[in-house]
Amino acid sequence: MSGRVLVGVKRVIDYAVKIRVKPDNTGVVTDGVKHSMNPFCEIAVEEAVKLKEKKLVKEVVAVSCGPQQSQETIRTALAMGADRGIHVEVSGNDYETLGPLQVSKIMAALAKKEDAQIIILGKQAIDDDCNQTGQMTAALLDWPQGTFASEVTLDGDKIKVVREIDGGLETIKINTPAVLTADLRLNTPRYATLPNIMKAKKKKIANVKPADLGVNLTSKLEVLRVEDPPQRQAGMKVETVEDLVGKLKELGKV
Amino acid sequence: MANPLRSEVVRLYKNLLYLGREYPKGGDYFRDRLRAAFTKNKSVQDPEQIKAMIARGEYVARELEALYYLRKYRAMKKRYYEE
């Protein structure tokens, strides 16, 4: 029983930035664009740090997969209260094709290597909106999962999770070790203020390569095309109900 | 010169500068106003007054954090949750 929590954080384009599609339609413009930690990952980090502050877990380890710049995201997690970081170096073409399957393989390998009790991830990333990594990680490790968590309570060696589902809220009790994915209302993430960032500079970030973990990064998916959503058509104004019916008939809708 | 308070004031200034980078009206807008506010009170000597001003600065910092959080929360809620 190590009491260690692994938190996955992803570096994504900042939520407030207006996304532009590349002229060749192969992806979105990322060069020179502001990046930050995925909002759901922030909530995940906050939950892990809260568990540590309540002394329910002993250590919080922040993990990110990506190029050099992913270290900034890990630093933010450290500033929020994580104890140490692990940067899994993935760059170039491997990074372009990095998806939930590869990340979940990496997380599973790290969970075994670090002897983690709980893995907390954001429910989905705001750039790819996959909502798959948590679920795949749990399947690879054969661990129970508490996804879309809006409330997490540790109860002995079990975890009570209140999940946000379409019909309302569902409460489940799962064994540890387990994988949790954070939903919007789980908590209010703290801001990584300047003094905390300064303190976090002393914390360690280990460098790992996917090959060291025995993970194959080849992707079976190929992005064919990326394009803007269709422009919204301007609406038409009509004077009377007869006009409305007439227009609908014209368009062949009635 | 209220020396022990000077480092606190400088720390507050750096903090607010860092927080202000994400200000919706622009980091420059915030920085200019921050600088103006601090230089306006440059000559204040009374430690009590300085402490009160530091407290007000910390209040502004907390307000900024709340602003950023609410903006993000509302954006996420609008994008991902059908009302």
Tell me how close the Cα of B49 comes to any Cα of chain A, in angstroms: 24
Residue contact A193–B77, C-beta within 8 A: no
Kindly state whether A127 is in contact with chain B, defined as any CB-CB distance less than 8 angstroms.
no
According to the model, what pLDDT value does residue B2 have? 58
Is the per-residue pLDDT at B1 higher than 70? no
Here the tokens at position A140 are 């690879």
Into how many domains does chain B fold? 1
For this complex, say whether ipTM is above 0.90.
Answer: no
- What is the average pLDDT across B7-36? 92
Strands annotated E in chain A:
4-8, 11-13, 35-37, 59-66, 84-89, 118-122, 145-155, 158-165, 168-175, 178-182, 205-208
Q: Which of A37, A38, A62 is nearest to A49 (CA)?
A: A62
Contacts of B18 in chain A (CB under 8 A): 193-194
Would you call A191 exposed, middle or buried from its count of C-beta atoms within 10 A (0-12, 13-18, 19+)? Answer: buried
What does pTM read for this prediction?
0.90
Contacts of A39 in chain B (CB under 8 A): 72, 76
Mutation site for B-interface testing, chosen from A130, A150, A184 by largest number of B Cβ within 10 Å: A184
According to the model, what pLDDT value does residue B66 have? 95
**3-class SS shares of chain A: helix, strand, coil, % to 5:** 30, 25, 45
Residue contact A195–B11, C-beta within 8 A: yes
**Range of the structural domain that residue B65 is part of:** 2-79
Tell me how close the Cα of A129 comes to any Cα of chain B, in angstroms: 10
**Taking CA atoms, what residue in A is nearest to B83?**
A166
Tell me how close the Cα of B65 comes to any Cα of chain A, in angstroms: 6
Kindly state whether B21 is in contact with chain A, defined as any CB-CB distance less than 8 angstroms.
no
Superfamily of domain A4-251: HUPs (3.40.50.620)
Closest residue to B77, CB basis, from A40, A184, A191: A184
According to the model, what pLDDT value does residue A1 have? 47
Average pLDDT, chain B: 91
Alpha-carbon gap, residue B34 to A30, rounded angstroms: 31
Question: Using CB atoms and an 8 Å cut-off, which of residues 212-251 of chain A contact chain B?
Answer: none
Beta strand A84-89 pairing with A205-208? parallel
Tell me how close the Cα of B34 comes to any Cα of chain A, in angstroms: 16
pLDDT along chain A (254 residues), means of 10: 88 95 94 95 97 95 96 96 96 93 96 96 96 97 97 94 94 96 96 92 95 93 91 81 85 77
According to the model, what pLDDT value does residue A138 have? 97
Is the per-residue pLDDT at B54 higher than 50? yes
